[in-house]
Structure 1
């Protein structure tokens, strides 16, 4: 995982067609190129940048050593304007298509477990319900993007990973650690995760079928049609499981089932490129004790979500000015049942959010470098039976005899300016974002940032940065009041300052990197409980005045004898100590230690074995159902994938938690033991 991919026998690449596109390789270089020779490794290396190398066209000319290649894009997530790998001023972790194909996982949630800076707290397997955080943050402090479009749900970050796409459609996943306010605006308090999909480069189709432990089953299919400048792809899938546990009454309580569909298209010519996508994800799952407490020990909760995603993006130019407009609409439905199928015991919670956004990004090159600027307007509208302020008039809840009686509407307006100074050995990227939110009459506030990268030679890269960002409270954090929860509607926005410095050494078979960072958080939001109150204790949403964190990460990747190995470790320490009798649910529960190791081994002919080891130790406590305070215990897990790959088909066997370890990521929620899956993929 996260390995450099190399072609040990270097070939000369002759670029004969550049398309005159603003997103082509040499446009990104910001200069005229008369003649250039690049190694294959330059195009496929993906440990700290995002590189797409999908379209490869054979050259039938007399020069057999040359290949004609069309580079769709070479860009970096860590800045507003696209920069090449050699120019990048900020480090970005990239999980490329090869990483995804080799991992023993069935969801994006599970895949992110192997990124050392990412904390994946599961309440169920195979992406059933997962909180994703970065560098000790919480699930609401990370901005999630689909093809660069913000798809965060302002209701809650708990269900943010209910996505309409299959792993097989993903070109890469980019993880940007640390505040990214001037790059993505609000919500990116401690980092960003960008999931990039593209239609297949040629007309094709494939089918995947899987089965496994606990009644697990999955079927998915994808078809793509490419005609000239047009490319359209559609996919659909369904999966289900009986779950790995039962309630006290003997009924299913960790089962799940869901379906998804995704359509994406693209049109590209010499003047413009237009992309669009439309997706739906519908899923229901037994929530067991996911949101239980010692006071409320329900073990048959249930939740159902339906999420719609749509967006249109374009890229064109007016003279030297590159324009990248986009427009999007996301809609999320959520039904939570405190007692499954028993609304008479507790009324179901119904929520609906509609998010509309318009974004215009642009950049141009001039003698002093590359300058980017733009703006975004994002409106978030909530209608609910439990969250928000009273509506002027109720709205019917479809399929029920109830109405949405509460709600909230807020608009976020942001503008940014960034300049990139591009020298032979030095890149300086500095800028700011100005943000205003209509909620609570927030004034326009400016959040600056600067990244510096110095490359003394072809092997070493030194980088340092200072960045700031903010996050508005979620609707749940402000208004949730039910069964032992008491939210505060007057929460302040969170703010973050972050300092980072690091170094990377890379050569043909080995890459080593180290990063040291310091976060200074203000008004950090958390749910806490005062256990000294006994039966009167409730979870309350609060602002912690200050939470400062210090951490470092080290990574090493080795490619040798057709095998790949990697290891990484992260450490975090916070200066905010838990007070006596006070239990934190999120902000003060973080991974102090995390160690990840991966190996990909060719065994025989087309048979390969992927091994993945993960050890982590979490800070924090929880009160069990007997009222006893428990410390989170460290645990180690081993996952594996054995696969036989042919040109048109692939067979694989996956095992998660091979040694059947007992562990928890959240108090009260035991995770499954050994989980085996067998699958087959057929390409047409």
Structure 2
């Protein structure tokens, strides 16, 4: 059956390519006018809930979304085989994170309509643009507000109901020569879940005010999300526990960006406050107050690029992030952590120097370093260096080699959990993690196809992982620290035809470690696909119909904690119909987990069953 599913996907792709072989082409992938949150995936809306910033990453070739129940409910975001805490997030000039646990790094209570498509930073780009992330980072920008909007509603399997509304408004009058605009969004979702005790109820409210002109944009944002999710063995398995997580996340952010000239020079600065209230229950039938947490984070920073000469430019950044936690489980005690608040600072400077080789070729030399410091640990200097060959003619557009370092401090769940008892055993002595990334990559264009390819070797030192030995009486997840070597290859291919858009991705990973004792397995650092293939297909069928399909085939690294299925095909299919007599009205039918495959994206966490929805969206 597995081979039949793979063969059917390959056959569908080959038929699409053959049918479109003589059709006009364009240079870039452009999906339909339906709201697009990412050009790398086909289905822009999920089935199980309303769209969140995580939705655009579900089938992203460079990102592995490891969901519990459904991606928008709770997800760990992994890049290049890193753990859920090795990935950073930012919006505008600001890195945004949760100090309690990396499980909540992606809890961004922002409507995707207010954001740009995500940019995935790895290697040198991650070291220059990311923060507190050793494997990779996801960067969003604030979108320009327009006089547009939509309302949508859908229902489906397991008593699913989801609704969302978004509206943007721009004023005819200008303030200090800049356009005043505002947008707002509200979204709601509920379902019984595809498995028993897998129910959820999510609500999100957003509002934003914007001042903008041709070269600058200032955004003031406020967002709130209330999220209740239930799932068996959500975090603490393998005890067949009926767990729940109840989150309320508030984000207030201010960001200003101004662009100088046509050379890419800019300055961007901002500040934010994020609060996350979390109540976790191991057994919903017997709730208690053992796992109640509140985290507060305040951050501010700036970044930019400035041309010094015609051939030389400087990139720079600096910021400060202060956090604190109030928790019934994560506090200071002899068998727990040493502190419950922390301030971190960062700064970086990087020079780009361009050497012209001839009329069509140039060499760009990049060098610099980041400085990271904290009042709770020592500081670190992380160098970055890259040499890139750029070409205007020929198939090869860019060839580069780079070396980059990055550092990260552990979160409070790892630091302050009781080291002697409980489901999650912490280690108050965990230190700073560091990564060293060596990389060779190329961007090419052949016959209207574009390719981005990279080979990398990452050396993680003192990486924090969670381990488990099921043979030990009273076994628990234990925070451990060790060294991991990762060798990887990744490639993304794109092409747009007249009626079809294609995005294919492939990645291969291999790892070694020095910290797992016999009989002990890793929940996160060794929860990765050895081989992963993604395929996003958008077909404009005519007469107002459009089909969108996302696919993922993965051969998972063997892990004794996973109960079955190391090889899996996961597919999401959507059929959309633009009603010709009602401009802006689109009807949809969607299916997630099309093949109804059981797969534990996180070991010991049951995967969801097939889900479907029928919906309508009216846009103006």
Could you say whether these structures have the same fold, taking a TM-score greater than 0.5 normalized by the shorter chain as the test? Answer: yes
In structure 1, the residue corresponding to 2:134 is in which secondary structure?
Answer: coil
Cα distance, 1:299 vs structure 2: 2.3
Cα distance, 1:558 vs structure 2: 2.6
Task: Tell me, yes or no, if the aligned pair for 1:622 and 1:631 is still in contact at 8 Å.
Answer: no
- Equivalents in 2 of 1:579, 1:419: separation in Å? 44
Relative contact order higher in (CA < 8 Å, ≥ 6 apart): 2
In structure 2, the residue corresponding to 1:478 is in which secondary structure?
Answer: helix
- Equivalents in 2 of 1:439, 1:303: separation in Å? 29
1:585 matches 2:523:
yes
Counterpart of 1:637 in structure 2 is 570
- Equivalents in 2 of 1:412, 1:337: separation in Å? 31
The 1:591–1:605 alpha-carbon spacing in structure 2 relative to 1, beyond 3 Å, is same
1:388 matches 2:335:
no
Task: Tell me, yes or no, if the aligned pair for 1:298 and 1:339 is still in contact at 8 Å.
Answer: no
- Equivalents in 2 of 1:374, 1:567: separation in Å? 34
Alignment of 1:85-484 (within 5 A): 96=38, 99=41, 106-107=50-51, 108-178=53-123, 182-184=127-129, 186-201=131-146, 203-227=147-171, 228=174, 229-246=179-196, 253-269=197-213, 272-294=216-238, 297-316=239-258, 323-340=267-284, 342-343=286-287, 346-367=288-309, 368-389=311-332, 408-424=340-356, 425-440=362-377, 442=378, 444-458=379-393, 459-460=395-396, 461-481=398-418, 483-484=422-423
Task: Tell me, yes or no, if the aligned pair for 1:198 and 1:264 is still in contact at 8 Å.
Answer: no
The 1:101–1:122 alpha-carbon spacing in structure 2 relative to 1, beyond 3 Å, is closer
- Equivalents in 2 of 1:104, 1:409: separation in Å? 37
The 1:144–1:271 alpha-carbon spacing in structure 2 relative to 1, beyond 3 Å, is closer
In structure 2, the residue corresponding to 1:575 is in which secondary structure?
Answer: strand
The 1:104–1:275 alpha-carbon spacing in structure 2 relative to 1, beyond 3 Å, is closer
Task: Tell me, yes or no, if the aligned pair for 2:435 and 2:460 is still in contact at 8 Å.
Answer: yes
Cα distance, 1:489 vs structure 2: 0.7
- Equivalents in 2 of 1:318, 1:462: separation in Å? 28
Task: Tell me, yes or no, if the aligned pair for 1:592 and 1:618 is still in contact at 8 Å.
Answer: yes
Aligned Cα RMSD in Å? 3.0
Which of 550, 553, 557 aligns to 1:615? It is 553
Which of 490, 503, 507 aligns to 1:553? It is 490
Counterpart of 2:437 in structure 1 is 498
- Equivalents in 2 of 1:315, 1:658: separation in Å? 42
- Equivalents in 2 of 1:569, 1:616: separation in Å? 10
The 1:235–1:97 alpha-carbon spacing in structure 2 relative to 1, beyond 3 Å, is farther
**TM-score normalized with structure 1 length:** 0.77
- Equivalents in 2 of 1:432, 1:590: separation in Å? 30
The 1:215–1:356 alpha-carbon spacing in structure 2 relative to 1, beyond 3 Å, is same
Unmatched tracts of structure 1, length 5 or more:
2-7, 11-39, 48-52, 55-93, 247-252, 392-404, 625-629
C-alpha distance after superposition, 1:160-195 (max 9, x if no partner): 333323344443111112365642454121101113
Counterpart of 1:542 in structure 2 is 480
Number of residue equivalences = 570
1:653 matches 2:589:
yes
**TM-score normalized with structure 2 length:** 0.85
In structure 2, the residue corresponding to 1:455 is in which secondary structure?
Answer: strand
Which of 511, 514, 518 aligns to 1:574? It is 511
C-alpha distance after superposition, 1:464-508 (max 9, x if no partner): 211110110011011223533221010111100001111221156
- Equivalents in 2 of 1:362, 1:111: separation in Å? 26
- Equivalents in 1 of 2:308, 2:322: separation in Å? 35
The 1:317–1:206 alpha-carbon spacing in structure 2 relative to 1, beyond 3 Å, is closer
- Equivalents in 2 of 1:127, 1:632: separation in Å? 23
- Equivalents in 1 of 2:355, 2:561: separation in Å? 56
The 1:112–1:551 alpha-carbon spacing in structure 2 relative to 1, beyond 3 Å, is same
